[in-house]
Structure 1
Amino acid sequence: MRRKNAFMLFLTAFIWGTAFVAQSVGMDYLGPFGFNGIRSLIGGVALLPCIYILGKINKNSNEKGDVKTLAAGGICCGLALFAASSMQQIGIQYTTAGKAGFITAFYIVLVPVFGIFLGKKTGWKIWLAVALALAGLYFLCITESFSVGRGDIYVFIGALLFTVHILVIDYFAPRTDGVKMSCIQFFVAGILSMFPMAAFETTTVEGIMRSWGPLLYAGVLSCGVAYTLQIIGQKNMNPTVASLILSLESCISVLAGWAILGEQLSVREGVGCILMFAAIVLAQIPEKQSKNRQTAAL
């Protein structure tokens, strides 16, 4: 189960990393709220047939959780997702992509820090993996002198909100149906995005038609598939380990730019990728049980 969950989270990171290409092209014709809103609604619609099929397959199984828990989880996840993605997208307009990637990746540190206040235990291997991941992300993302500006503050707020999103999923995922909760969160995030889109952006049918490819990729795969894999993969998974695996999105985005767009991968970025993968491997090594716990198990 641990390996299966880790693979799901890695696949999530892969889809998100490659989706940066689609998001970059789609933003040529749509504003940040318009793009996020439409792709979220597409993601929610894409999950409806999946829910129907899974319902037929598991017709005789007991329904996990109640409707109230499902609704609460979907709404809370949707609110957190809308707020986090909005802050990140706004911040990117005022800062560089490298700084935004590094600041957003602070959720790797913030998840275990927040987890301490929620009573979650984190071993020394996880903290060492966190340190390696941060070092890797620094080499991967920071290519210019670091300074704090308005955009950096927005992106940092987004990182805080992404941390909340991960912890909210960690709370609700074991208690309810993950696919249904994912569907609800996308409709919530998509509907909420429509209000600032109507107030601050000009969205045209022509712009949507020109962005249909990126919207479908970002909606069906990045939203409908990846976020659902995240919810399912995080079940009974240490949220710190989950955030480390998901942070591979940064490495994969660099590799996708090199493979698809012909962008060059520098030695510095290569070192960052190696450190990130080392952190993931370290985080997946199980802790040795103490003698007392082994004796008790016997």
Structure 2
Amino acid sequence: MKEKSSIYADFSLLIVAIIWGSGFVVTKNSLNHITPYYLLAFRFMISFFLMGIVFFKRLRKAKLKDWKAGFLIGIFLFGGFATQTVGLNYTTAGKQAFITATNVVMVPFIYWAISKKRPDIYEVIAVFLCFTGIGILSFESNLRFGYGEFLTFICAIFFALHISTIGYFSKDHDPIVLSVIQILAAGILSTIFALLFEPRITKVSNEAVFSILYLAIFGTLIAFLVQNIAQKYTSSTHTAIILSLESVFGGIMALIFLKEPFTIRFLIGCIAILISILTTETKWDFLKKNIEQNNNSGKVKRV
């Protein structure tokens, strides 16, 4: 039964990865019609009100420790989306999708800080490959690390912290309550930043309304609700590897819908990052098993 629940959780997280992959394209388009922090403010507050209506009874029973945990997770959530959305103004959706996915390599090291469990050699190698991929993907011809790529790298750190804290708190807290509270926290912070750092908006275009509703309902409400519930039945690192597939979906959708250029450099950088993700999460166990099976099948029994 536990194994069946784990399979359902993994499949649910795959759906989340597809939704988030499409989010890079939708967000990139929406930034032509609305500023980053107002986009986030609308996105998170609409999601909070919808979730608040549906789960009002559960939210009313939330204790102080639930609010503390939810707000901490929400701070990391806001940090991730703020740096990601602002960064998308200065880089391509395809590049950002793959750099954001590097959070999967960071999760074991954050877990090390929490549990004192040191990363193994595979995770160390993965970090080297990951940063090599980021360098190939992001450094410009004059060896300058672009502003958009820098913000996206910071966003990956925030999302690694977000995944790790959800994994830590979801075992002892109602995941739905955590979802609602973290989205409220992100909404409040987004609103404050929008009012402080961006010009007041007087009108929202139809294109912006579509993007806001898509990101609020699918990219936030449904995706984070599913993530928080699914993480109750699987590990943080397992969650990270599945959610990292958003980079693949995001890169493909950016090439198809945004007509972003496809270059050899882009391909090599993406491959290096994907190999780093596979290294840290699978330890290449599937190759070891195949070699062992081949060796065993080649042995001849003596009578």
The TM-score range, normalised by the shorter chain, is 0.7 to 0.9
The one-letter code of the counterpart of 1:68 is: L
Partner residue of 2:24 out of 20, 36, 41: 20
Aligned: 1:177 with 2:181: no
The number of aligned residues is 279
Q: Residue in 2 aligned with 1:43? A: 47
1:43-69, CA deviations, whole angstroms, 9 ceiling, x for partnerless residues? 1122234425x96xxxxxxx9x96122
Corresponding position of 2:234? 237
Instruction: Give the CA RMSD over aligned residues.
Output: 3.8
Higher mean displacement: 120-129 or 232-241: 120-129
- Indicate which of 192, 197, 209 corresponds to 2:194: 197
Query: Which amino acid is the alignment partner of residue 248 of structure 1?
Result: L
Instruction: Give 1:248's match in structure 2, choosing from 224, 245, 249.
Output: 245
Contact 1:129 1:283 (8 Å CA) reproduced: no
Per-residue CA shift, 1:96-152, capped at 9, x if unaligned? 555544443331221111111222758869749957994996699559656325444
Residue in 2 aligned with 1:148? 145
Letter in 2 for 1:84: G
Q: Are the aligned partners of 2:122 and 2:283 in contact in 1 as well (CA < 8 Å)?
A: yes
Q: TM-score normalized by structure 2?
A: 0.75
State the shift of 1:255 in Å.
2.2
Partner SS state of residue 203, structure 2: helix
Question: In the alignment, which of 152, 164, 167 is matched to residue 167 of structure 1?
Answer: 164
Residue 70 (structure 1) aligns with: 66
**2:102 is equivalent to residue 106 of structure 1:** yes
Q: Structure 1 residues 223 and 158 mapped into 2: Cα distance closer, same or farther (>3 Å)?
A: same
Deviates more, 1:29-38 or 1:159-168: 159-168
Aligned partner of 1:81 among 77, 81, 86: 77
Q: How far did 1:11 drift?
A: 1.2
Alpha-carbon distance in structure 2 between the residues aligned to 1:17 and 1:129: 26
Q: TM-score, normalised by structure 1?
A: 0.76
Secondary structure, aligned partner of 1:211 = helix
Structure 2 gap segments, 5+ residues each: 290-303
CA contact (8 A) 1:251 1:273 kept: no
Structure index of larger Rg: 2
> How far, CA to CA, are the matches of 2:170 and 2:46 in structure 1?
22
SS of equivalent residue, structure 1 residue 89: helix
Matched, 1:211 2:208: yes
Q: Which residue is 2:296 aligned to?
A: none
Alpha-carbon separation, structure 1, partners of 2:118 and 2:76:
24
The C-alpha deviation readout for 1:70-120, integer Å capped at 9, x for no partner, is 211221111111122212333344455555444433312211111112227
The farther-off stretch of 213-222 and 88-97 is: 88-97
The aligned counterpart of 2:114 is 118
Separation in structure 2 between the aligned mates of residue 109 and residue 205 of structure 1, nearest angstrom: 42
Partner residue of 1:279?
278
The alignment-based identity, stated in percent, is 27
- Give the 3-state SS of the residue equivalent to 1:148 in structure 2: coil
Per-residue deviation, 1:207? 2.3
* Aligned-pair CA distance for 1:14: 0.7
1:206 maps to amino acid: K
